[in-house]
């Protein structure tokens, strides 16, 4: 179990403290939802959690199969919808592996790792997640 303490500072700003490490992060509401957009929004953190989880689990799989993925980049585009309520409607994930040779088996291992990360497994099925993976040119 991990404990995260969160305090509301007013003006739609929150500060969260990660119990084990004491690392801190701040959030703000986005401009299109009464905020100033001065930091990550809570839904931005959902997208961030997905991307970092995918890369972390890919890293574990890469280590287990002796695949070098250092330098891999990942971009998540978050798309909000307003019906029936304001929520994340879809996430588009683009993974770019470093330029090198990857066998079909290695690519399959990496994409399976990304798609089975714990955050991906926790996302509600009403949220569409489209994931692509390519090798840098």
Residue pLDDT, tens place only, 68-88:
999 999 999 999 999 899 999
Residue-level pLDDT at 39: 97
Residue pLDDT, tens place only, 15-72:
999 999 999 999 999 999 999 999 999 999 999 999 999 999 999 999 999 999 999 9
User: What would the DSSP string read from start to end of 70-122?
Assistant: TT-EEEEEEEEE-SSSSEEEEEEEEEEE-SS---HHHHHHHHHHHHTSHHHHH
Six-digit token pair at 40? Answer: 């990550």
79 and 99, same domain (yes or no): yes
125 and 95, same domain (yes or no): yes
Six-digit token pair at 30? Answer: 């986005």
How many structural domains compose the chain? 2
The CATH number for 74's domain is 3.30.300.20
d(CA 65, CA 34): 47
55 and 111, same domain (yes or no): yes
pLDDT band of residue 131 (cuts 50, 70, 90) is very high
Return all residues near 28 (Cβ < 8 A) that are at least 6 apart: 12, 13, 35, 36, 37, 38, 39, 40, 41
18 and 54, same domain (yes or no): no
Domain residues for the domain of 71 are 42-135
Return all residues near 18 (Cβ < 8 A) that are at least 6 apart: 2, 4, 24
87 and 119, same domain (yes or no): yes
């Amino acid at each position: 179990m991990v404990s995260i303490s969160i305090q509301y500072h007013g003006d739609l700003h929150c500060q969260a403290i990660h119990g084990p490490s004491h690392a801190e992060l701040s959030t703000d509401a986005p401009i299109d939802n009464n905020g100033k957009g001065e930091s990550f929004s809570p839904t931005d953190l959902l997208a961030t959690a997905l991307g970092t989880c995918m890369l972390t689990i890919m890293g574990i799989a890469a280590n287990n199969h002796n695949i070098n993925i250092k330098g891999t980049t990942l971009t998540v585009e978050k798309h909000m919808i307003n019906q029936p309520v304001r929520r994340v409607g879809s996430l588009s994930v683009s993974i770019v592996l470093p330029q090198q040779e990857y066998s079909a088996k290695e690519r399959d291992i990496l994409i399976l790792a990304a798609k089975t990360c714990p955050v991906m497994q926790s996302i509600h099925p009403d949220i569409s997640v489209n994931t692509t993976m390519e090798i840098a040119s």
